[in-house]
Amino acid sequence: MSEIDFDFTEFDALAAKLGTVPSAARSNLRKAMEVTARHVKDDWRQKVTGSPGLPGLAGAVSYDVKSDSSSRSAIEAEIGYDKGRFQGPFGAISEYGAANEFGTPLHAPRNYGSAALAENVADLERGIDIALQQAEKAAGL
């Protein structure tokens, strides 16, 4: 009976390199998320600046990027009105609108946050693409 040998050394080397991509990309993925979150915040602030009756509302828009050192944990950005800042508690009314107890609209929703997020989706996609390309390059792929 003939003997068949398989050489997986190159395959194993590629698999090992691919395994380093997520951890190598993590810091750049976090940077991409941070930059996009800042852009969303800035665009949101620009839209809400000068709101009649809520002149300090733009200053209440903030962001926070959360992640830990685990290569499997999520990288999250929370962008919105900080209720601890001046006029921050009124942010939901500005964003989503308000109605009286009978359902009659008192304040139309402005959706500034949603618009700012939509305007920056391509920026986040570009940042993620760059982060992954840099990680692949660092891994020799």
What's the Cα-to-Cα distance from 59 to each of 39, 66, 108, 116, 124, rounded to whole Å?
15, 21, 21, 16, 24
Question: Which tops the pLDDT comparison, 9 or 113?
Answer: 113
8 A C-beta contact, residue 105 and residue 99? yes
Residue 4 lies in a domain: no
Residue 42 lies in a domain: yes
Mean pLDDT on 93-117:
85
Identify the band that residue 41 occupies on the pLDDT scale cut at 50, 70 and 90.
very high
Residue 5 lies in a domain: no
Residue 106 lies in a domain: yes
8 A C-beta contact, residue 15 and residue 138? no
Question: Which residues form the domain of 88?
Answer: 10-138
Residue 91 lies in a domain: yes
**pLDDT tens, position by position, 82-92:** 999 999 899 98
- Residue 17, pLDDT > 80, answer no
Mean pLDDT on 85-107:
85
Query: How many independent structural domains does the chain possess?
Result: 1
pTM score of the predicted model: 0.78
The rounded distance, in Å, linking the Cα atoms of 51 and 14 is 55
Residue 2 lies in a domain: no
Q: Terminal CA-to-CA distance of the chain, rounded, Å?
A: 39
Residue 85 lies in a domain: yes
Question: Which tops the pLDDT comparison, 102 or 55?
Answer: 55
- Residue 23, pLDDT > 80, answer no
Return the minimum-mean-pLDDT range out of 48-62, 65-79, 123-137.
65-79
The percent of the chain in helix, strand and coil, each rounded to the nearest 5, is 55, 10, 30
Question: Measuring CA to CA, which residue among 81, 55, 79, 76 is closest to residue 66?
Answer: 76
Residue 82 lies in a domain: yes
Pairing of strands 61-66, 76-81: antiparallel
The rounded distance, in Å, linking the Cα atoms of 97 and 78 is 21
Identify the band that residue 100 occupies on the pLDDT scale cut at 50, 70 and 90.
confident
